[in-house]
Structure formats: C-alpha cells, structure tokens
Amino acid sequence: MSLPKRHNAHSFICLLTVLALLMNIFRATTFAENETALITHFTMSLANKPVTRAMTIFFYGALKGHFTAFRSLETVQYDEPMTTTLTRADLYSLLARALAEPLEELPKEYYLGTEGDDLPLDMFAQLGVVNVPANRFFVNEETVSWFEAQQHVVRAVLPEFRIQNDPAIVSPQQMYSYEQLEMDINRLLTLYPQLLTVEVIGQSVEGRSLYAMRIGQGEHEILIDAAIHASEWLTTPLTMKMVEEYAHHAHHGTLFGQHDVAVLLQEVSFWFIPMINPDGVTLVQSGPDAIIHGALAQQILSDSEDFTTFKGWKANSRGVDLNRQFPISWTTLTSVRDEPAPSHFKGHAPLSEPEAQALYDFARFRRPVLTLSFHQQGEWLFWYHKQTGAQLERDEKIVQALAAVTGYRYQYYNDNGGKYMDFVITELGVPGITVEVGTVVGDLRQWQRIWQQTRTLPLVAAELVLPHF
C-alpha cells in the first residue's frame, strides 16, 4: 500500500472507531436505528471535513473485512493524486467498482442525475446506497464530506443499512421536450400503477396528445396546467417533477416537506396537464423544421415587429395565444393582436384552437375546486378577475398564504379577460391562480430556486381550499 503516512495514522484511528461502533450497533433493534446511530456518530465526530479518495478506499476495505478489494480499487487510474479531496463523481466511481456491477450491461435509465457523465447514480439510488435528494439531482464537482462518504460506503458494503429509494425518472434540468414528456409519463405509470392514471384530453393542432395525469383518489379535484405558453416550457419539467415526488412520497408514506401526501390524496385528486401547447413548445425548442406549420410560423415571425427568433414564441403552431382564447370578455379584449403572432393574438373566435378547447372542456367537466396555472416569469401570483364578496375574501386569503410559501408577490390584476384563469374564476367560481415562476424565461440555471419555491405549492393550495368545500 502506498498511502502517505498521515493518512495511515488517521485511517487506523477511524477504522477502530468504526469497527467499535459497528459492533455496538449490531446489537440495536432495528436497522433504521442503526443507521441513525451511525450517522449521528459521524456527524458529531467527523462532520463536514472533506475526505480523500485514499481514505474512502481504506474505509471500504476495512468494512469489507479484507484488503483485496482495497488493492484493486487503489489501482483505479485517476488523473488526480489519491490525496486530493474526493468529488462526488469520484465517490460514485469508487462505489461502482466496489459494487462490482457489470455497468456496461445496465440499461441507460440507470444513468440519471448528472449531465455529461455516465455515473450509475440511479442504480445506487435504487439499491439504496445513496439518498435521492429532494431535487433528485447530484452536483458532480461538489466535494464529498467524511459523513457522506462513509454513509455511502457503509450502505454499499452492508445491504442491511440501505434505505429504500425509488429511481428518479424526471430529470428536469434539460430542455424538456414533448417526446421526453411522453417517455416519462409512461415510466411513471409503470412505476406507480396504483397511484397514477393518465388521460388524453385532446389533440393539438398538429395531432400531439394533450395529457392529463391524475394522482389521488379524493373527491375534490385540483387542476394544474403548464406550458400553455410555448416559451415557458420549463413549467413542464416543474410539474412533472411534482408528479414524481408526490407519487414517490405517497407510495412510501413519507412526508414531502410538511405534507403527508398519502393522507392528502384520500381527500384530493390532482390533475396535472404538464404541456397544453406541445406544438409551440416543439417549435421553440427545435425550430420550424420540427413542426408541420413550420413555414407558417416562419412567416408569422418575419412579419412580427417584436420577435426575431422563436425563443420567445408563446402561441401555438399557427400563431394563436391559447391564453387569450377563453370566452370571458373575449370580444372586448384590448392589448391583443388582430392577426397571427408569436404572442397575444386572441384568434378569430374564442376556443378556435383545439388546445384551448380541450382545457376548457376538461375544466368544465372535472369541476375543480382550484386551479394552478404555471407560467413564466417574474415571481408573481395572479389570482384576481372581478370576483366580489365571499369569493373575493376566500381567494385573497388563499393567495396570501401561497405568497408566503413561495415568496412571490401578488396583486389585484384586473386585466381584460380571455385567460384561462379568468374563465375559472368567473364561470367555475373557484380560485384560479397563475404562478409566474423564475425571473428569466427558460433559464435552467434557476431550476433550484424555482423548485424550492414551488414544489409544495399544489399541496399547500389543496390544504387551503379544502375547508371551503
């Protein structure tokens, strides 16, 4: 062995500590308690000090009870010396070797979590070796602490210390396409057949399916829609991630934030419509060649004074703004275009577009107790359209609470109608809330912030609205 001396000494002390600890915790009653004891110990004693590769390998060898594996791991070729601090990518490489899985044979689905890398993170998650974090995303270059390394090594070596994880399906930090959406819906349905159902509520102009996923068995329904505006496609992975996390936590009976999802889903059903404008989204993401109406879109764009690229395109594939299509004050709308445009053309008649019609019909049929519409941008909540009396009082209370959860601002926003939320408030008489996430449209670097701000929003909204029904 060729470890520097200072590491050998330190390692030996740590090894003794660990072995002593393991002897003790094997006497404890449950594995969950064992794990807690182990973690508490390391948190207290070694905390967040960074660890080196050499130390991690040593620890693995010690737990394994022999040093053969240690030697083979030691010979793993690295560009960096063994004494440098361990990055998360290093740790997972080591774990992969330690587990001796034939990685080449694993299906591609297991390689989730990092970009531009093929570390089998999701395999570790499925084996229970690593915790899947709330955001289900691993940062490659992050330095690994003693605590984390040891926790993972212990779980890799000793299956009884593993915790249950589900594979992460939705990988939200990507330009999330219609094809990706279909793939993820199918995989979620396969993984959570007891919890999720899907319906196709209509077809887009170009024949793409408009999906609605239901989670929950409750009698009161909440409708959540996203990406009615094409450029705001980031709201699709946002809502898909919510579906996955809610299903995951309901399945395991664990809390998500403060929320007991499984219990809530007995009273409430959420309908997620993650991409109501798939043609427009495809145009924004892949350009005019990717859609049937590409030439028309190109023409509309060149006629436009405000847009030079498809990046900010909000409309569907034939230049109609789907969120100006709803029959509330539609004839008297101002601030709209009178011909097809990248945004703000209300159409030649209300509900002339199949996407708007599908959303309208679905909402009228389901009779939700609340709707949430995800848009970009500005960190605003819009909620007001001429409601009065008890309805106004109820809705303002709810939006105040949602503003507290998200940190978003809200205001009276008496626009002149045509929007989905205006229809919900006016015709269905329930809170119709528009959530404007992020400060830059389509900027995935804001993902963490957006996710933290909004991930529990539908759950909170459900808890707030239920007493009123």
Q: Which residues bind Zn ion (CB under 5 A)?
A: 229, 232, 375
Cα–Cα distance for residue pair 275/233, rounded to 1 Å: 8
**Minimum distance, C-beta of residue 377 to Zn ion, in the bound complex (Å):** 8
- Is 56 or 373 the residue whose CB approaches Zn ion more closely? 373
- Is 167 or 340 the residue whose CB approaches Zn ion more closely? 340
Query: Which residues, in sequence order, are CB contacts of 273 under 8 Å at separation 6+?
Result: 201, 210, 211, 212, 213, 223, 224, 225, 226, 359, 362
- Is 88 or 375 the residue whose CB approaches Zn ion more closely? 375
Cα–Cα distance for residue pair 272/170, rounded to 1 Å: 14
Angle at 17 between CA 13 and CA 19, to 5 degrees: 115
**Minimum distance, C-beta of residue 229 to Zn ion, in the bound complex (Å):** 4
**Minimum distance, C-beta of residue 423 to Zn ion, in the bound complex (Å):** 15
- Is 132 or 223 the residue whose CB approaches Zn ion more closely? 223
**Minimum distance, C-beta of residue 231 to Zn ion, in the bound complex (Å):** 8
Q: Closest by alpha carbon to 202, among 277, 266, 147?
A: 277
Cα–Cα distance for residue pair 324/391, rounded to 1 Å: 23
- Is 40 or 439 the residue whose CB approaches Zn ion more closely? 439
- Is 171 or 376 the residue whose CB approaches Zn ion more closely? 376
Tokens linked to 434: 């528009």
- Is 244 or 436 the residue whose CB approaches Zn ion more closely? 436
**Minimum distance, C-beta of residue 203 to Zn ion, in the bound complex (Å):** 22
**370, β-bridge pairs:** 222
Distances, alpha carbon 8 to alpha carbons 53, 58, 69, 78, 150, in Å? 13, 9, 17, 20, 17
- Is 56 or 323 the residue whose CB approaches Zn ion more closely? 323
User: Which residue has the closest beta carbon to Zn ion?
Assistant: 375
Q: Is 26 exposed, middle or buried (0-12, 13-18, 19+ CB in 10 A)?
A: exposed
- Is 172 or 312 the residue whose CB approaches Zn ion more closely? 312
Sign of the torsion formed by the C-alpha atoms of 311, 315, 321 and 325: negative
**Minimum distance, C-beta of residue 234 to Zn ion, in the bound complex (Å):** 11
**Minimum distance, C-beta of residue 177 to Zn ion, in the bound complex (Å):** 19
Q: Left, alpha or beta for 26 (phi > 0: left; psi -120 to 50: alpha)?
A: alpha
Question: Kind and range of the H or E element at 411?
Answer: strand 409-411
Cα–Cα distance for residue pair 459/70, rounded to 1 Å: 47
Q: Is 287 exposed, middle or buried (0-12, 13-18, 19+ CB in 10 A)?
A: middle
**Minimum distance, C-beta of residue 291 to Zn ion, in the bound complex (Å):** 20
**Minimum distance, C-beta of residue 232 to Zn ion, in the bound complex (Å):** 5
Q: Closest by alpha carbon to 88, among 43, 132, 121?
A: 121
